[in-house]
């Protein structure tokens, strides 16, 4: 259990670092824009960077634990798993945009 907790913390920290870098680059690129445009693009880049990296790393760390027998028997399990991750990332992004 402690190993899983450390993996989760590692994923959060790496996601935060990527989000910070993306936010800094976005702020630099849009520095000549109005403040509300700069803030909007920076926050969007931060959310996409953090949640995208976090979900990808979380999935890669835990894909063996949560695969059922059904997925193991399928020929295209990797393709279907990638589609599931895309669905999770896009649905989380839609949720953030609505709220």
**8 Å CB contact between 26 and 41:** yes
What is the DSSP code string of 26-53? HHHHTTTS-HHHHHHHHHHHHHHHHHHH
Domain around 65: 2-98
Residue 72 has pLDDT above 80, yes or no: no
Percent of the chain, pLDDT > 70? 59
pLDDT at position 81 is: 66
Q: For residue 27, what are its two tokens?
A: 């702020």
pLDDT at position 99 is: 46
Question: How far lies 74's CA from each of 63, 70, 87, in Å?
Answer: 15, 7, 19
Tell me the pLDDT tens digit for each residue of 12-53.
889 999 999 999 999 999 989 898 999 999 999 999 999 999
Give the number of domains in the chain. 1
- 67-81 burial, b if ≥16 CB within 10 A, otherwise e? eeeeeeeeeeeeeeb
């Amino acid at each position: 259990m402690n190993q899983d907790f450390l993996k989760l913390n590692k994923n959060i920290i790496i996601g935060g670092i990527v989000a910070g870098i993306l936010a800094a680059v976005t702020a630099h690129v849009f520095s000549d824009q109005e403040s509300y445009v700069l803030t909007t693009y920076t926050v969007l880049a931060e959310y996409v960077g953090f949640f995208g990296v976090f979900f990808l790393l979380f999935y890669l760390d835990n894909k063996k634990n949560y695969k059922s027998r059904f997925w193991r028997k399928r020929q295209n399990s990797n393709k279907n798993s990638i589609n599931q991750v895309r669905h999770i990332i896009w649905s989380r992004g839609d949720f953030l945009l609505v709220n």
